[in-house]
């Protein structure tokens, strides 16, 4: 498995076009451009796209799960995305991004958990959406 690269980000945008609009994925500058990040030195009006953060978050969490599954060759351990451990306060309202567990299920007991990951990944390159070509 290859580590994170520009092609993974392109794949994210290609897949996202099937269920999200470019307005959900990009910021719109005052001059009408759609960009992944506000350009350095940009002095126009700015907004925050909350849906964009969750779309990228879900994609990068899945990517990390796939990476960990590739690395983890132990038959007794499982990589669980969005796991819940209610007895320690990790519930469906705020699940753990990724857990390595002895059980292959979403709702876990503390004794089943070996490791909890908080994924803080985002896009690296500042992509721009072209309305004319999609």
The answer to whether residue 73 is domain-embedded is: yes
pLDDT at site 23: 87
For residues 87 and 102, what is the distance between their CA atoms, to the nearest angstrom?
17
Evaluate if residue 92 carries a pLDDT over 90: yes
pLDDT, mean of residues 9-34:
90
Residue 56: the pLDDT is 86
96 domain-assigned: yes
CA-CA distance, 47 to 41, in Å (whole number)?
A: 15
Per the CB < 8 A criterion, the answer to whether 101 and 76 are in contact is no
3-state helix, strand and coil shares in percent for the chain, rounded to the nearest 5 = 30, 20, 50
Domain count, the chain: 1
In a domain, 1, yes or no: no
Q: Residue 95: which pLDDT band, with cuts at 50, 70 and 90? A: very high
Residue 130 has pLDDT above 70, yes or no: yes
Task: Show the tokens assigned to 111.
Answer: 């004794």
Residue 112 has pLDDT above 90, yes or no: yes
Q: Residue 2 has what pLDDT? A: 82
DSSP designation for 111: G
Give the range of the structural domain holding residue 117, as residue numbers without chain letter.
6-129
State pLDDT tens for residues 47-80: 877 656 788 888 999 999 999 999 998 788 999 9
In sign, the C-alpha dihedral spanning 127, 128, 129, 132 is: negative
Looking at the domain assignment, is residue 20 inside a domain? Answer: yes
CA distance 23 to 100: 35
Confidence class for position 97, pLDDT limits 50, 70, 90: very high
């Amino acid at each position: 498995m290859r580590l994170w690269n520009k092609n993974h980000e392109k794949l994210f945008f290609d897949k996202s076009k099937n269920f999200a609009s470019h307005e959900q994925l990009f910021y719109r500058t005052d001059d009408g451009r759609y960009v992944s990040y506000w350009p350095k030195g940009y002095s126009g009006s700015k907004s925050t796209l909350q849906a964009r953060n969750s779309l990228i978050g879900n994609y990068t969490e899945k990517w990390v799960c796939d990476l960990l599954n590739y690395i983890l060759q132990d038959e007794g351990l499982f990589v669980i995305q969005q796991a819940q451990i209610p007895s320690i306060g990790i519930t469906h309202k705020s699940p753990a991004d990724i857990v390595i567990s002895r059980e292959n299920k979403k709702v876990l007991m503390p004794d089943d958990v070996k490791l909890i990951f908080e994924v803080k990944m985002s896009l690296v390159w500042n992509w721009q959406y072209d309305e004319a070509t999609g």
